[in-house]
Amino acid sequence: MKVIANWKMNLPTPDIRSWTENFYSNVNLDDSKTIGVAPPFTHISNCVTYLQNLRVGAQNISSRDLGNNTGEISASIAKDSGASFVILGHSEVRENLDEQSSLINKKIAIAIEKNLSPVVCFGESRESYENGITKDFVCSQLKECFEGIKAETIIIAYEPIWSIGTGITPETNEINEIHNTIKDYCKNHLKFVPESVLYGGSVTDKNCKNLITGENIDGFLVGGASLDGNSFARIVNNCF
Ligand code: PGA
């Protein structure tokens, strides 16, 4: 996948209908299987119906399989409702639910076992960025999250925490360099080549044209600007 919409906890069903109309009337793309949408869990099956040629995914899963785990959604149940991928390790989940890398590691393993493609997010705080330790920070997150994982089709999303929802992005060349480091680290230390390395954090239909010029920037994970089908279609159009 090259462009993924992360709807977070937004868009009730009536809005999904108008999103779909707006998206399809503006997008110019034949192979839409490279585009993913991650709605809230309860909308996954609706989205599979409405967004016929897009991939639909979950925004998280449990680290456990079926069983007595009140309030959790297993990989199998997400898959059953039509999800084909899952976003893991998003900084909002790491923070709001206090998810540590060891738990994300278990979730990656179960996602792979159940055939859900993991889209795993990594990114540094403003403080780490200002201290110039972004690369070390991201590589240590990668090491912890992929410990012992036999990776196959993994998508990585580099999302600096200070850029999410703030309207501020690093420069294209800075992102490109981090993506290069991520690709090298995966190849040399984790022994897999990610399917793609996406950038996420305040991506819009305006700045995506410049960001996509980075040779290591394979596409985007988009939050706020994906909530409007027109704007998401324009982002997709600019990436292909
Ligand atoms: P944003 O969110 O595009 O609203 O910054 C991105 C994300 O959290 O994945």
d(CA 78, CA 66): 11
38 Cβ closer than 6 Å to some ligand 1 atom: no
What pTM was estimated for this model as a whole? 0.96
Q: Mind listing the pLDDT tens digit for each residue in 176-233? A: 999 999 999 999 999 999 999 999 999 999 999 999 999 999 999 999 999 999 999 9
Q: Is 159 a catalytic residue?
A: yes
Q: Which of 4, 6, 11, 120 to mutate to test the pocket of ligand 1 (most atoms within 8 A of CB)?
A: 6
Q: Confirm if 194 and 226 have CB atoms less than 8 A apart.
A: no
The residue whose CA has the least distance to atom 3 of ligand 1 is: 223
Angle at 153 between CA 152 and CA 155, to 5 degrees: 130
Helices (H) and strands (E) in the chain, counts: 10, 8
> Residue 90 Cα, ligand 1 centroid: separation in angstroms?
10
Q: Confirm if 27 and 59 have CB atoms less than 8 A apart.
A: no
> Residue 224 Cα, ligand 1 centroid: separation in angstroms?
6
> Residue 121 Cα, ligand 1 centroid: separation in angstroms?
11
d(CA 122, CA 164): 12
Q: Read off the pLDDT band of 113 (50, 70, 90).
A: very high
